[in-house]
Amino acid sequence: MRAIVTVIGRDRVGIIAEVSGALARAGVNILDITQTVLQEYFTMIMLTDISGFEGAFSGLADLLGECGERLGMSVRIQREDIFEAMHRL
């Protein structure tokens, strides 16, 4: 199953390291990364494959939520399907 991780907040050192580290420990494979700075905010989108994560989706969401708290940023994960449904025929 594929999921999108969205990271938004003020830019700082170590964002990718923190998020990708958390994902690696959870067994989540990163398939693609896009990042940009929008209106002074660092914005990163990661396409991930979460089939390697053992446990309920909510566990992964909690894990990334904690990661966001450590960074002082918004970090969330959503299944890719919702974006596909809204933007692809």
Partner 1 sequence: MLGIDEILETNEMIDRQHLDIRTVTMGISLRDCAGSGATEAARRIYDKVTRSAEKLVRVCGEIEREFGIPIVNKRVSVTPIAIVAESSGAEDYTVFAESLDRAARELGIDFIGGFSALVHKGFTAGDARLIDSIPRALAGTERVCASVNVATTRAGINMDAVRRMGETVKRAAELTAPSGGFACAKLVVFANAVEDNPFMAGAFHGTGEPELVINVGVSGPGAVKNALRSARGAPFDVVSETIKKTAFRVTRMGQLVAREASLRLGVPFGIVDLSLAPTPAAGDSVAEILEEMGLSSVGAHGTTAALALLNDAVKKGGVMASGHVGGLSGAFIPVSEDAGMIKAARSGVLTIEKLEAMTCVCSVGLDMIAVPGDTPAETIAAIIADEAAIGVVNNKTTAVRIIPAPGKRVGDTVDFGGLLGTAPVIPVSGGESGTFIARGGRMPAPLGSLRN
Residues between 33 and 52 that touch partner 1 (CB under 8 A): 34, 36, 38, 43, 45, 47
Contact pick of 10, 54, 57, 70 for partner 1 (by CB under 8 A): 57
Q: Annotate 46-89 with three-state secondary structure.
A: EEEECCCCCCCHHHHHHHHHHHHHHHCCEEEEEECHHHHHHHCC
Contact pick of 30, 32, 70, 75 for partner 1 (by CB under 8 A): 32
C-beta closer to partner 1: residue 39 or 72: 39
Give the pairing of strands 2-10 and 41-49: antiparallel
* Alpha-carbon 73 to chain mean position: 11
Angle at 71 between CA 67 and CA 75, to 5 degrees: 50
Q: How far is the CB of 50 from partner 1 (least distance, A)?
A: 10
- Considering CB under 8 A, how many residues would be counted as binding partner 1? 27
Q: Which positions touch partner 1 (CB under 8 A)?
A: 4, 6, 31-32, 34, 36, 38, 43, 45, 47, 56-58, 61, 76-88
